[in-house]
């Protein structure tokens, strides 16, 4: 048995326990010989393609600010959490006991859905299936039976799936933590609550942390604590500018906050790099609405009342909409590539409505790649695939006796444990943000649909020339032969200190 076929053998042949143990042993021997070979190690700083993208055809580069140009440290999430929970207690009279519960950075991942009616966080795949073991009410994991009672199964109807809010951006991590904290506290203390009101209160508390400027003031006062220098960013933007590319920025952040961060990362002369700068854009309305542009007066920190008829390079504008931007921004070059971290707010409309090319910045990507590069994961995932093939090949066989049936059940149990083990290597509660046990997640599907390329941080683009073409990999469909092709890639840097700072 040199290789295990994925073909189903449905003839009812009788096999002994000894034959099953022999097949299992041969599969183990294959795994020990690295046949099939473990997956190749991937560069955490790589740029990955969903669609073919030729940078030679890109003359205009656009950027979001938060989590794209600016990369925040792990300290930002607990800051937002603490400011929001304090607002719940002081403004909305939620129990003071909530203030004693610290933020848990290891609990949630990005891309989870929230079922408002049942106060549950859950992880959904690309086919609207709930991953088993990833439904939490507060901090309590629901059993499979409890999930069945709530949802009637593990597949969400399309309408139900669309109506569940998805916690998609990086600011949603403290939001998810806050929802779990409040729900768990109320359940533990037998406090009744309206789940819709609770969700609205938490959402508004998190929103107010931003719109009132509380978060901006805290971050601006301590940049070293909350913002990475984003090593390589200045070099990359200088290269684009020096090669004649035209750069613009569209951000929801106010100018005063964004300017502090840009000066911190790039120096006082950062504005020379950007032809157009739009602040307080209110995306996604910027891409969908008709709000007028207003000239921002930096010295007065106010907006000018006269109508904006043209966008002047070097000036700061507030609000606006993409239709007017397309008409009034005078670019000499063709081909736009827009970078952002929010799949819907930043990337959906530019790609679907405007035909721009888009690039997603996914900071968690570097950490996930390092996890899958770990030898423990590589060994486990290789054996999991072999064991699955073994189960598939022998599932229709008829064990000769109880001993044989017990042997086969051991395979099933081991596979279940392996799936849990590999899931926990990414996050103990929810696993990887990119896949469930075998399918891509809902987040991953949208990432593939709405971005041409994606990477963990913007300076990773320095590894590629401005003439580079990104090619997507040819992934085998279920009915196609799986070709084990070694992909050539640039050498991987082992700069653990820098990579740790990126995650």
Q: Which residues have C-beta within 8 Å of that of residue 269, sequence separation ≥ 6?
A: none
Task: For residue 103, give both structure tokens.
Answer: 């933020």
Task: For residue 50, give both structure tokens.
Answer: 């969903």
DSSP strand pairing (60-63 vs 246-250): parallel
Task: For residue 102, give both structure tokens.
Answer: 């610290």
Tell me the helices (H) and strands (E) count for the chain, helix number first: 18, 19
CB 63 within 8 A of CB 360: no
The 8-class DSSP code of residue 170 comes to: T
Q: Is the peptide bond before 105 cis (omega within 30 degrees of 0)?
A: no
CB 364 within 8 A of CB 109: yes
* Distance of alpha carbon 295 from alpha carbon 311, whole angstroms: 9
What does the H/E/C string look like for 272-285?
A: HHCCEEEECCCCCH
401 is in an annotated binding site: no
CB 319 within 8 A of CB 283: no
The 8-class DSSP code of residue 344 comes to: I
- Give the strand order in the sheet containing 112-115: 140-141, 130-137, 120-124, 112-115, 166-167
**Look-up: residue for tokens 């910027």?**
286
CA distances from 351 to 113, 126, 361, 397 (A): 24, 20, 15, 50
494 is in an annotated binding site: no
- For residue 120, what are the β-bridge partners? 115, 137
Q: Is the peptide bond before 431 cis (omega within 30 degrees of 0)?
A: no
* Distance of alpha carbon 103 from alpha carbon 299, whole angstroms: 38
Beta-strand runs (E) in 64-212: 112-115, 120-124, 130-137, 140-141, 166-167
How many residues belong to the chain? 503
Helix/strand/coil for 491: coil
Residue 366 has a CB neighbour count (10 Å cut-off) of 23
Q: Which amino acids are annotated catalytic?
A: 64, 66
Closest CA to 70 of 233, 221, 216: 233
Task: For residue 101, give both structure tokens.
Answer: 């519960």
341 is in an annotated binding site: yes
* Distance of alpha carbon 126 from alpha carbon 7, whole angstroms: 25
* Distance of alpha carbon 70 from alpha carbon 138, whole angstroms: 31
Residues comprising the binding site for Mg(2+)? 64, 341
Residue list, annotated binding site: 64, 66, 341
């Amino acid at each position: 048995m040199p290789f295990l076929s994925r073909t189903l053998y449905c003839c009812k042949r009788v096999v002994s326990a000894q034959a099953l143990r022999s097949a299992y042993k041969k599969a183990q021997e294959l795994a020990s010989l690295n046949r099939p070979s473990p997956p190749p190690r991937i560069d955490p700083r790589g740029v990955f393609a969903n669609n073919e993208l030729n940078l030679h055809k890109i003359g205009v580069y656009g950027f979001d600010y938060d989590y794209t140009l600016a990369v925040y440290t792990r300290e930002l999430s607990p800051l937002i959490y603490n400011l929001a929970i304090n607002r719940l207690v002081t403004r909305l009279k939620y129990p003071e006991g909530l203030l004693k519960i610290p933020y848990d950075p290891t609990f949630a991942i990005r891309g989870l859905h929230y079922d408002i009616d049942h106060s549950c966080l859950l992880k959904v795949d690309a086919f609207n299936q709930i991953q088993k073991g990833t439904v939490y009410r507060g901090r309590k994991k629901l059993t499979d039976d409890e999930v069945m009672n709530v949802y009637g199964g593990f597949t969400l109807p399309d309408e139900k799936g669309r109506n569940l809010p998805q916690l998609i951006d990086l600011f949603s991590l403290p939001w998810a933590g806050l929802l779990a904290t409040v729900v768990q506290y109320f359940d533990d203390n037998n406090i009744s609550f309206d789940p819709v009101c609770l969700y609205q209160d938490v959402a508004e508390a998190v929103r107010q942390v931003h719109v009132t400027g509380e978060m901006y003031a805290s971050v601006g006062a301590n940049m070293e604590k909350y913002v990475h220098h984003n090593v390589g960013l200045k070099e990359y933007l200088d290269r684009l500018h020096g090669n004649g590319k035209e750069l613009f920025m569209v951000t929801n952040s106010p100018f005063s906050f964004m300017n502090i961060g840009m000066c911190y990362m790039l120096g006082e002369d950062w504005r020379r790099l950007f032809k157009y700068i739009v602040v307080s854009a209110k995306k996604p309305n910027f891409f969908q609405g008709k709000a007028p542009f207003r000239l921002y007066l930096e010295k007065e920190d106010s907006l000018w009342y006269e109508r904006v008829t043209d966008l002047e390079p070097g000036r700061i504008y507030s609000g606006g909409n993409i239709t007017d931007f397309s008409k009034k921004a005078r670019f000499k070059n063709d081909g736009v590539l827009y970078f952002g971290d929010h799949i819907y707010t930043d990337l959906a409309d530019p790609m679907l409505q405007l035909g721009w090319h888009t690039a997603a910045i996914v900071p968690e990507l570097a950490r996930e790649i390092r996890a899958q590069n770990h030898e423990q994961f590589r060994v486990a995932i290789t054996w999991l695939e072999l064991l699955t093939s073994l189960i598939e090949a022998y599932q229709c066989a008829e064990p000769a006796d109880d001993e044989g049936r017990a042997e086969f059940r051991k395979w099933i149990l081991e596979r279940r444990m392996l799936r849990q083990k590999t899931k926990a290597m990414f996050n103990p509660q929810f696993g990887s943000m990119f896949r469930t046990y075998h399918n891509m997640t809902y987040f991953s599907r949208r990432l593939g649909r709405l971005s041409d390329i994606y990477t963990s941080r913007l300076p990773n683009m320095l590894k590629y020339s401005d003439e580079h073409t990104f090619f997507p990999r040819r992934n085998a469909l279920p009915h196609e032969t799986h070709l084990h092709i070694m992909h050539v890639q640039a050498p991987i840097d082992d700069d653990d200190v820098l990579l740790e700072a990126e995650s």
